[in-house]
Amino acid sequence: MSRVYIGRLSYRAREKDVERFFKGYGKILEVDLKNGYGFVEFDDPRDADDAVYDLNGKELCGERVIVEHTKGPRRDGGYSGGRSDRSRSESSSRSRSRSR
């Protein structure tokens, strides 16, 4: 599974509009809309990749939307499957001071 973030979403946009926008990119498991943004969860990560590549910057309900992979864990405790901007080596290479 893979979640996609959709930003700059029109406040007029409804779940049906978002489903139509992403139609043809694969099986959608969930659409979660907030105020001005939302998330779409795809069954197959490759479908999410295609949607991000093709739909980022396209117009939905009169607004040019941002479509990108989610980053980090989901707030409900699940994992988003997205990519993090921080590499593993950055987080593990932090220096630790020793107490004497």
Answer whether 76's CB lies under 8 Å from 3's CB: no
Predicted pLDDT of residue 13: 97
Q: What is residue 1's predicted lDDT score, i.e. its pLDDT?
A: 87
Q: What residue segments make up the domains of the chain, in order of their start?
A: 2-71
pLDDT of residue 90: 39
Which stretches of the chain score pLDDT less than 70?
Answer: 73-100
In our burial notation (b when 16+ CB lie closer than 10 A, e otherwise), range 30-46 reads: ebebeeeebbbbbeeee
pLDDT of residue 83: 40
pLDDT in the model for residue 75: 67
CATH class for the region spanning 2-71: alpha beta
pLDDT at 31: 98
At 37 the pLDDT is: 98
